[in-house]
Amino acid sequence: MEDFSTTLEHRVVASKTATDVVRFSFIVRKSISYLDLGLCRDSMLLNYVGTSCDCCALKLSNSFINTEQKCRKFFTQSRSLLYTLHLDLPKGRECSLKDVPNSITLDHNPCIPHISKIIPACGFDILILSDFIEDAINIIKEEMKIFEWVLKMSFSDLPLLYVLKIRAVDQFIDCFYPEITDSAIFKDFIMYFDFTEWMSTYEKPEFLEYLLYYSRHYGREDLKQDVFPIDEIIDPCIFNRYFSNIGPILKYINVPIFSEDDYRLYLLKISAMRPDLTEERLRKAEERKKREIIHQMLQIIWMHIDCRQHHCTEDASEALRLIWCSVLDAYISFKEIKRAFRGIFIAEELKNIYDFYAEAVGESSESVEPRSLQHLCRSIIRRTLRENQIWIPEGLRQMCLPKAIE
């Protein structure tokens, strides 16, 4: 039995598959004709809920739903009960599923009996289009022709290449790497390619360096301006264990930026194993050390724990070395990490964590000491090259600096 309320609530239903969009295309696409494809076995309607008393209604029909009344009956099996109890909406208050006023508030709650809108699930169209493009690449084997077509198209006022699912875009990268570097098509690809999503999905350091280099070469706007800035991608790479991506990224940026979201995620992951690690405990640690240093400690701890579980200590150690070659902060001392996390980890664990860090960065100290003047010079040079949007290794070569500075 469904609950009834004196407040009129409006429910929106999202169709997730092509099957459902076709079946309800009378509403979803405002179709005047239909395709009776008999595809009900693939149906995956979001927030569709059946009730025990209407179990027969769970057997989805193959037929096209061609009236609004049929739509409402399909999603609300207790609609007959509403009629019986005279609780159905008066005709004047029930808006058309095809013309929903902007003034009403829609809710995805499947328990709401009144259906006001049926829509494709978020991202449905671009998902289907991406699937078509992938199939075309695999069947036709004419990647460059397909890519030329993609470049000419837009989707919701954005370049189609930018919004395509990243797995489809990845197939085009294979066409370019490593030979193609100076074609107009490749330049257009670099200008519209979604770097951060690809870096978060794939660990292909050679491809990544190739793409980032030509992003600089062709003068694309710095990727720190993207929706997800490249400066904040280091921690997601660590969470995904894409350690090999970190080297190429640090040839593009001068220093990683630590985000609040990643700070909380480190806390969440580590506290799942060590419940004594709480926000209150970290706040106390922050009274002695700035939050960024605590973030770095959490990063070290998580890398140590996670890489031991997944047997990738060597890759994690190299990534940690590269990170600490870029940051300006003083090396963390054993005393600092012991004071911050004593009682959360036993003494032996803290020593193992610190040994992992010290071996990676090549430094071990009992007290906090400033970084060398040479390192500070290197950091300033890297920052200047970044500000001028120069590929850092190339800029260093052109400056003819001593090898130690590079």
- The pLDDT tens digits for 350-402 are 999 999 999 999 998 888 889 999 999 999 999 999 999 999 999 999 998 88
Same domain, 301 and 383: no
Alpha-carbon distance of 341 to 339, in angstroms, equals 6
Residue 170 reports pLDDT greater than 70: yes
Residues 201-214 pLDDT 10s: 999 999 999 999 99
Which of 122, 147, 180 marks a domain boundary? 122
Residue tagged 């494709």 (tokens): 120
Same domain, 273 and 337: yes
What letter would DSSP give residue 373?
H
CB atoms within 10 A of CB 333: 18
Residues 315-340 pLDDT 10s: 999 999 999 999 999 999 999 999 99
Nearest Cα neighbor of 333 from 359, 293, 364 is 364
Same domain, 116 and 134: no
5 with 113: CB under 8 angstroms?
A: no
Tell me which residue range forms the domain holding 78.
10-122
CB atoms within 10 A of CB 226: 16
The pLDDT, as a whole number, for residue 402 is 80
Same domain, 286 and 351: yes
Which of 228, 250, 277 marks a domain boundary? 228
Q: Is residue 395 part of a domain?
A: yes
Q: Report pTM.
A: 0.79
Q: Is residue 21 part of a domain?
A: yes
Q: Is residue 80 part of a domain?
A: yes
Same domain, 380 and 344: no
Q: Is residue 253 part of a domain?
A: no
Which of 122, 137, 170 marks a domain boundary? 122
- How many domains does the chain divide into? 4
Q: Is residue 236 part of a domain?
A: no
71 with 27: CB under 8 angstroms?
A: yes
Q: Is residue 247 part of a domain?
A: no
Q: Is residue 246 part of a domain?
A: no
Same domain, 392 and 356: no
Same domain, 57 and 138: no
Q: Is residue 241 part of a domain?
A: no
Same domain, 30 and 61: yes
